[in-house]
Amino acid sequence: MDYPRIQIPFEITLWILLASFAKIGFHVYHKITIWVPESCLLITIGLIVGGIMHSVNEEPPAVLSSNVFFLYMLPPIVLDSGYFMPTQPFFENIGTVLWFAVVGTLWNSIGIGMSLFAICQIEAFGVQDINLQENLLFATIISAVDPVAVLSVFEDVSVNEQLYIVVFGECLFNDAVTVVLYNMFNFVADMPVVEPVDVFLGMARFFVVGFGGMGFGILFGFVAAFTTRFTSKVREIEPLFIFMYSYLAYLVAELFAISSIMAIVTCALTMKYYVEENVSQRSCTTIRHVVKMLGSISETLIFFFLGVVTITTEHEWNWGYILFTLLFAFVWRGLGVLVLTQIINPFRTIPFNLKDQFGLAYGGLRGAISFALAFTLPDNIQRKQLFITATIAIILFTVFLQGISIRPLIEFINVRKTNRNLGTINAEIHCRLMEHTIAGIEDLCGQWSHFYWKDKFMKFNTRVLRRILIRDSRAESSIVALYKKLELQNAMEILDTVSGDISASPSIVSLYEEKKNAAKPKKKFLAADLRNMHDILSKNMYNIRQRTVSYTNKHKLPNDTQTREILIRRHASIRRSIRPGSFQTSVVPKSQKYFSLPAGKNLDSKFPPRRLSNTDDQETMSEAAYPPRHSRFNQPSRSSSRAMIPLRRLDTLQESPSVSVLDETSGEERGGTGRGMPRINSSASDSRVPAPRHPFDGGDRGSVDNLRNSHHEAEEEQQEPTSPPPAWAAEGRDNTTRNPLLRRPQWNPKK
């Protein structure tokens, strides 16, 4: 047995596994994680393990040495934060964020440093030997906030977006500021005498470091985006580029001693937008997943080791100093938030009220960065142990006390909540409308504001950047993107009703097998059609993806499961449809069956139900999930005198509809014998606007008679419009342009 050979990788793996087991363990009783943030739990476990190790006189691995921490453990966390940062609110609030991050950190550091220095003069505490520079250094270390726990609480409570993004952004950027300040003070601490010139140089250095970091980040981001433009043939390694480029940005910034955190964050921000349009869907999922995973592991390990190291290091405890540190940290943060908010509120469209400020101040937990920085204090500082102890004390205090209590407090004081129910098309449309209006009025007034800059940037983006960086650069409005997303949702719901509720999604593998078997019989789709469909839907999904990742939980992946769900449900429904007679009797449970009614028609069928030609393919789509197609048919003439929405009701069910793809190339009138005509029972009394949910044919399984009866109960459903998925009445087109959004295969279960 040659243990030393494998020792290092082995131990690393074991530690990671141990920390991850702890994480699994927490979720066994999931209520714990609601009340106690994960970081607390991890630290506790770490403490226990540290105790064990201490008792057997083992040394913990040197995870928190400077190199390991800053080169290996920190980048994933920062990448995670940067990648999943909600960009739009971030840029709208960027002034505030930078203000709090930069000025706030400065305020905190200097304030705490000075007050501690004042305390040091008091003889009773016995810390007179700490001079001002060292105090400032220490103060810098402990003013770095790391509100991981707070962010997850904020998410759960859905606080208003402004607060969330300011806390988030502040955390991100003040890491950079802290590190810069730390280096500066470190450098200065060595020097016996501090000249004003040095201070000035320090400040200049700060700007160089900050902006240099950003510049590097943007550069690498663009290079990464550009590279992914050409990776269509090598899909498997696409995610690699993201990671390599961001890590490279980090390392190169470290090389030049500029802010690596800023570099990696800006790299991620820049990259994300363009890369997600270039890479394949799978690569995108992979990237997100891996980013989250690495970030999560790093964080877990850090908190874990925090606990371990707490036990195993030698401590130097000094009641006075440490208690005053705690006090000052708290006081200065509170003061800082108050003063800074007063100054910046007039500049904000949505000013922070007192409750927000409380959330901001109380959310200033300390965490990993402070910890690591404390460990990397140079050894020539005599009181290093004291500093380490004090740092650990303050971290533990804030994480446990504030972390646990922030949730009830936030709920108690009832911080302004966010209203994220803007998933409706109308809200989106009006949002855009309003923004354009404001931009227009501002142009009229001759005024600039961030709308102006945003406008200009978007123009530049469309004209220049996208052309260069994106393989297929067609701009798409966010309205259209949302529309597509909602279509997808609808599709899912249809599948849901078709196949019943799928509570436990079976593994895709088994489904795939069944699907394949079932699909063997007939495939009548043209290859070209399939490819087109693949393309169209993939593109739709990419754009949809952009919109859905806005508010993400720190510990979970963003909800990217839509497409997968469709796939799963699709397969399950296919599977179910194989079973005989499974559909004839099922009444559509909750869905509204009317999705479109031709205006001015009655419920008696005017259009004979068209039978779908029995191309009867079960499953012709392979990997991409296809929502069933929207039906098309004749547009009845609309009386223009009344503003009626042309609605058509699609009745689908008595005969077995079949899955078919609407032939895109065939220009024939859909009302005719086209291959994919669903049954259109266009009976309708004058256009009744249902609160329709499923525009897609094939989703509906009730019979005509059921339709009317279940109308009413279905209507009841509509009373709670949290975000009613729109159904739309598509116009029946007469030969012409096929709307790509509407072209989807209609599928049918086999009888």
320/740 with CB nearer other proteins: 740
CA atoms within a 13 Å half-sphere pointing along the CA-CB vector of 442 = 15
For residue 368, give the amino acid letter: A
The site map against other proteins for 337-376 (x = CB under 8 A) is --------x---xxx-------------------------
Choice from 127, 242, 340, 425 touching other proteins (CB under 8 A)? 425
735 binds other proteins (CB under 8 A): no
Residues 387, 182 contacting (CB under 8 angstroms): no
Q: Which stretch binds other proteins (CB under 8 A): 218-226, 502-510, 518-526, 733-741?
A: 733-741
Q: Residue 268, class by beta-carbon neighbours within 10 Å (0-12 exposed, 13-18 middle, 19+ buried)?
A: buried
SS (H, E, C) 144-195: CECCHHHHHHHHHHCECHHHHHHHHHHHHHHHHHHHHHHHHHHHHHHCCCCC
For residue 747, how far is the Cα from the chain centroid?
32
Per DSSP, 671 falls in state T
Q: Which stretch binds other proteins (CB under 8 A): 165-173, 201-209, 441-449, 502-510?
A: 441-449
Residues 217, 172 contacting (CB under 8 angstroms): no
Choice from 217, 359, 692, 699 touching other proteins (CB under 8 A)? 692
The C-alpha angle with vertex 705 and arms to 699 and 708, in degrees rounded to 5, equals: 80
CB atoms within 10 A of CB 79: 27
166/177 with CB nearer other proteins: 166
Q: How far is the CB of 238 from other proteins (least distance, A)?
A: 24
Q: Which residue has the tokens 């065939």?
A: 666
Residues 478, 550 contacting (CB under 8 angstroms): no
| β-bridge partners, 746 | 660
Report the distance separating Cα 282 and Cα 508, nearest Å: 15
295 binds other proteins (CB under 8 A): no
733 binds other proteins (CB under 8 A): yes
| Closest listed residue to residue 65, CA positions, set 376, 291, 381, 438 | 376
Sites for other proteins among residues 693-712 (CB under 8 A): 712
Q: How far is the CB of 679 from other proteins (least distance, A)?
A: 20
Cα dihedral 392, 395, 398, 399 sign: negative
For residue 628, give the amino acid letter: P
Indicate the SS3 state at residue 552: coil
Report the distance separating Cα 658 and Cα 663, nearest Å: 14
32 binds other proteins (CB under 8 A): no
Q: Which stretch binds other proteins (CB under 8 A): 50-58, 401-409, 426-434, 620-628?
A: 426-434
Q: Which stretch binds other proteins (CB under 8 A): 163-171, 321-329, 659-667, 728-736?
A: 728-736
Choice from 35, 230, 317, 448 touching other proteins (CB under 8 A)? 448
Report the distance separating Cα 441 and Cα 430, nearest Å: 16
Sites for other proteins among residues 484-543 (CB under 8 A): 486
Sites for other proteins among residues 591-620 (CB under 8 A): 603
Q: Which stretch binds other proteins (CB under 8 A): 7-15, 58-66, 127-135, 687-695?
A: 687-695
DSSP 478-537: HHHHHHHHHHHHHHHHHHHHHH---SSPPPHHHHHHHHHHHHSS-----HHHHHHHHHHH
Q: How far is the CB of 648 from other proteins (least distance, A)?
A: 11
Which tokens belong to 397? 């205090």
Indicate the SS3 state at residue 696: strand
Report the distance separating Cα 365 and Cα 564, nearest Å: 37
253/691 with CB nearer other proteins: 691
| Closest listed residue to residue 219, CA positions, set 291, 270, 258 | 270
The site map against other proteins for 132-171 (x = CB under 8 A) is ----------------------------------------
Report the distance separating Cα 117 and Cα 653, nearest Å: 81
Q: Which stretch binds other proteins (CB under 8 A): 46-54, 97-105, 171-179, 641-649?
A: 641-649
Report the distance separating Cα 277 and Cα 354, nearest Å: 41
440 binds other proteins (CB under 8 A): yes
Q: How far is the CB of 651 from other proteins (least distance, A)?
A: 15
Q: How far is the CB of 164 from other proteins (least distance, A)?
A: 15
128/419 with CB nearer other proteins: 419
Q: How far is the CB of 727 from other proteins (least distance, A)?
A: 6
233/712 with CB nearer other proteins: 712
For residue 226, give the amino acid letter: F
Q: Which stretch binds other proteins (CB under 8 A): 67-75, 76-84, 218-226, 722-730?
A: 722-730
Q: How far is the CB of 603 from other proteins (least distance, A)?
A: 7
In residues, how long is the chain?
Answer: 751
Sites for other proteins among residues 365-424 (CB under 8 A): 419, 421-422, 424
Report the distance separating Cα 614 and Cα 568, nearest Å: 25
Choice from 467, 531, 556, 642 touching other proteins (CB under 8 A)? 642
Q: How far is the CB of 717 from other proteins (least distance, A)?
A: 10
Q: How far is the CB of 560 from other proteins (least distance, A)?
A: 24
Sites for other proteins among residues 214-273 (CB under 8 A): none
Choice from 47, 79, 373, 729 touching other proteins (CB under 8 A)? 729
Which tokens belong to 191? 């020097």
71/479 with CB nearer other proteins: 479
430/516 with CB nearer other proteins: 430
Report the distance separating Cα 673 and Cα 173, nearest Å: 62
**Cβ within 8 Å of residue 490, ≥6 positions away:** 627, 693, 694, 695, 696, 725, 726, 727
Choice from 678, 727, 747, 749 touching other proteins (CB under 8 A)? 727
585/639 with CB nearer other proteins: 639
Q: How far is the CB of 472 from other proteins (least distance, A)?
A: 10
Choice from 212, 363, 726, 749 touching other proteins (CB under 8 A)? 726
CA distances from 208 to 202, 257, 592, 623 (A): 10, 10, 60, 49
72/448 with CB nearer other proteins: 448
58/715 with CB nearer other proteins: 715
503/722 with CB nearer other proteins: 722
Residue count at the site for other proteins (CB under 8 A)? Answer: 75
345/561 with CB nearer other proteins: 345
Q: How far is the CB of 684 from other proteins (least distance, A)?
A: 8
Report the distance separating Cα 235 and Cα 297, nearest Å: 26
Q: How far is the CB of 145 from other proteins (least distance, A)?
A: 27
Report the distance separating Cα 300 and Cα 16, nearest Å: 9
Q: How far is the CB of 632 from other proteins (least distance, A)?
A: 11
Sites for other proteins among residues 457-486 (CB under 8 A): 459, 474-477, 479-480, 483, 486
| Closest listed residue to residue 296, CA positions, set 16, 702, 714, 661 | 16
Choice from 65, 447, 517, 673 touching other proteins (CB under 8 A)? 447
Q: How far is the CB of 736 from other proteins (least distance, A)?
A: 8
Choice from 338, 427, 518, 519 touching other proteins (CB under 8 A)? 427
